Amino acid sequence: MKHPLRRACVFAAAVAVVALLAIPGAASATNTIDCLAKSARAADDTTALDYTFRCSEAITGYTLTTNRLTAGFEPEVLVTAGTTEDPAPGESFGCEGAIPGFGAVCIGKASAWNWAHGRIHTDAPVCSAKEGALVVRLVVTDSDKRISQPFGVRTPKCPKPKPKPHKKHHKKPAARRHH
């Protein structure tokens, strides 16, 4: 496993940031939100990942973390109404975080089942054999300032690296005996 301590620190930092979003008035109970999150490689940039998610309850913030350095992210996240592509009136998120970092923290509003659409940029191509699989996690805060469990973001399937060709060792032909 590459950099297990780094991954643990990233996750701990994400939970801490979301906990800060919940102060003051944090409830002692965890929320019951269920979220569906997915992503796709951006067609116009090999280091960009377009993500989208929706949750079963209204949310007021979220944290997105990765196992790779984040080279940037979209500061404004669009929220669309239900199954339409129409912007949800009065709903959006503003995001901030360190660059380079390991994700972003976003504050705003999305009603239950509305989709949030954003983009992050990593320091290496999304499909990088050298860096390994990209892992993205989502943690949300509901309107009562309760923090969710971390949700895995489905990341795109990347082509498997082609195996290096083996050099064929040609045996020298055995010397022929002349009769």
Q: Is residue 169 part of a domain?
A: no
Q: Is residue 175 part of a domain?
A: no
Domain that holds residue 146: 4-152
Residue 88 vs residues 110, 118, 125, 129, 178: alpha-carbon distances, Å = 8, 15, 32, 38, 90
How many Cα neighbours within 13 Å face the side chain of 32? 0
Q: How far apart are CA 10 and CA 3, in angstroms?
A: 11
Q: What is the CATH number of the domain that holds 40?
A: 2.60.40.2550
Q: Provide the pLDDT confidence category of residue 172 given band limits of 50, 70 and 90.
A: low
Q: How far apart are CA 94 and CA 87, in angstroms?
A: 15
Coil/strand/helix, residue 8: helix
Task: Name which residue leads in pLDDT, 169 or 56.
Answer: 56
Task: Name which residue leads in pLDDT, 169 or 147.
Answer: 147
Give the number of other Cβ atoms within 10 Å of residue 145's Cβ. Answer: 17
Q: What's the mean per-residue pLDDT of the chain?
A: 82
| Each residue's pLDDT tens digit, 109-160 | 999 999 999 999 999 999 888 888 899 999 999 988 899 999 999 998 887 7
Given a contact cutoff of 8 angstroms between Cβ atoms, the answer to whether 143 and 59 are in contact is yes
Task: Name which residue leads in pLDDT, 2 or 172.
Answer: 172
With 90 as the cut, is the pLDDT of residue 163 above it? Answer: no
Q: Provide the pLDDT confidence category of residue 19 given band limits of 50, 70 and 90.
A: very low
Task: Name which residue leads in pLDDT, 10 or 45.
Answer: 45
Q: How far apart are CA 72 and CA 112, in angstroms?
A: 27
With 60 as the cut, is the pLDDT of residue 97 above it? Answer: yes
In this prediction, residue 18 carries a pLDDT of: 44
Q: What's the structural domain count of the chain?
A: 1
Q: Is residue 157 part of a domain?
A: no
Q: Is residue 179 part of a domain?
A: no
In this prediction, residue 152 carries a pLDDT of: 93
Q: Is residue 166 part of a domain?
A: no
Task: Name which residue leads in pLDDT, 27 or 46.
Answer: 46
